[in-house]
Structure 1
Amino acid sequence: MDTSSEVQILKDAIKEHGTVNSDGRTSVAYGILFDKTANTLEALNGTLRTAKRQKKVAFDAEILFMPKDKDVQVVLLE
């Protein structure tokens, strides 16, 4: 699977499982995203880092780990 399709799967998962925050952006906890994409995204952290570099998502960490970061919000920027 190519990177752009993995980023699209990530964006779709955030839209499907997230909620709209006070800024009007959709966000989801990393733990939920981890659970919901386990069967579709083999390298979730790699996809998250790629999407973050492309400014498609934002989160407050360099890399996220389960279960330590399960409550960190991943915000969809576009």
Structure 2
Amino acid sequence: MDISAELKILQDAIKEYGTVNSEGRSSCAYGILFDNTADTLEALNGTLRAAKRQKKVAFDAEILMMPKDKDVQVVLLE
């Protein structure tokens, strides 16, 4: 699967499983994304890092790890 398809899956998952934060952006906990994209995104961390580099998402960590970062919010920027 190419990265643009994986980014689309990630964006759709954040919208579907997350909530809208106080800034009006979709946001989802990493643990929820991890649980709900395990079958479709084999390398969730790689996809998240690519999305962060492209400024499509934001989160407060260099890399997210389960279970330590399960409550970290991944915010959709576009």
TM over 0.5: yes
* One-letter amino acid matched to 2:74: V
Q: 1:35 is matched with which residue?
A: 35
1:16-54, Cα deviation, whole Å (9 max, x unpaired): 000000000000000000000000000000000000000
Paired residues, number: 78
Q: Residue 75 of structure 1: SS of its match in structure 2?
A: strand
Q: 1:60 is matched with which residue?
A: 60
TM-score, scaled relative to structure 2? 0.99
TM-score, scaled relative to structure 1? 0.99
CA RMSD of aligned residues (A): 0.3
Q: Residue 23 of structure 1: SS of its match in structure 2?
A: coil
Structure 2 gap segments, 5+ residues each: none
Structure 1 gap segments, 5+ residues each: none
1:14, CA displacement in angstroms? 0.2
**After superposition, where does 1:16-27 map in structure 2 within 5 Å?**
16-27=16-27
Q: Residue 36 of structure 1: SS of its match in structure 2?
A: helix
1:76, CA displacement in angstroms? 0.2
The 4+ residue runs of structure 1 with deviation greater than 3 A are none
Q: 2:45 is matched with which residue?
A: 45
Q: Kindly, what percent of the aligned residue pairs are identical? A: 83
